[in-house]
Structure 1
Amino acid sequence: MNKEPYKQFGSIKFSLMIIYLLPIIIIAIAVLSYLLGKKNGITKEVIKTIQLPPVAIEETNLYGDETQHQFELRCHNALILYLNEHRFLYYRNGNSFQVNLELEDGSTFLISIDSIYEFKCIEFKSRLSTTIIPDRKLSEVSEMINRLNARLVFNPLHLDYENRHVNILTSYYVGSHKCIFDYLSFYLTINYNAVGLRNCLKRVVVNDEEPALVALDFAN
């Protein structure tokens, strides 16, 4: 008797049993894994949506519709708070301020501060030259200023041809934002540090040195 057909039928029957039992085995393994994981404290928790508090972002147009008087008053109040906080010696003339800084040699260095509504800025201005520049030295001083400005960030040096003086002028753009004390300090410091340029003027005007060499020495 040929038993080969029975062997084939048995193999097919076994394969069908495996197919039917496979899902049950997978489910059983999953349940067992869950129970073992829970027992060992490594079950995954459901991730909940976290509601973050709103971020405090300063509006960029807080003072967009302010008038000239409002802008000048805002800058005026900020400057008074800053100057008083840092105990600067100053006096006021309307909306203008004169800050007096005492130098090491006992002299005083003045910084004028004005709010300019047309440009929405605060302007810092100081006179560097202590005497009137002679006409014969205007071109040389002008060359030195151009060379120094080329090496400086803000091109702050200006030659006043009419009054024969050299000034340093920097501007803090306030715009429609709040006045930031760190910026006020930054521009005041720039003007104060420019005192060192007085020696450059002396070398060109008094000592008749070459403007190019003087500017090169200052940059180095």
Structure 2
Amino acid sequence: MKRSILILFLLNIVFSQTKQISQISISSKKNGISINILSDIALDKSQVTGWYNDTNSWYYMTIHNATGDAIALEKTRIEYPISNIEIVNTGESIQIGFKMKLPVEDFEFYFDDSSSRLLVALRFPLSNVLASIEAERPNRSNKKNVDDNRSKSWIKGLYFTGSSIVGVGLLKRNNQKGWEIPVGFSLILIAYCYEQFIIYKAK
């Protein structure tokens, strides 16, 4: 009986220890945000709660029986769509707030006991994810246009160079056989084949 009481007493001490939140890191993804929270002692699932407030666009999480250096944690490097971090120590818990520029549709907690790390995954609505992907398409289109323009300039250069070399060959006397005409026509042929069978086929 005494042994059981001692074990329960020791377990109570372990679980009642105040955890120290030492670091927060943020990583932006296409479909959401990953937030890594590092503590000196592994957090328990029962300690952590979270919610998103639609009215003020803040995502809050409370870690019970934990504390942290508010000034240091608020200096965490932020990434879009997070615009601000707010840390509040209440004595019994620490509340971490993230000001969001995009709404949070869902969130999950992943606990890594081996590294005393908590991963918070915030997910955006599908409509926002699709809009973000759509916004990237013009950039790819612009890049393709630039590549097409470069190819056209290169082909024009071949046509011009080939024609010029052929012209030089034609200006020579008939009894002088030079390399200009065959080389010039070869360049023109290369430009034509590249334009007709490579560029247009790629399109």
TM-score for the superposition, normalised by structure 2: 0.26
Q: Whose Rg is larger? A: 1
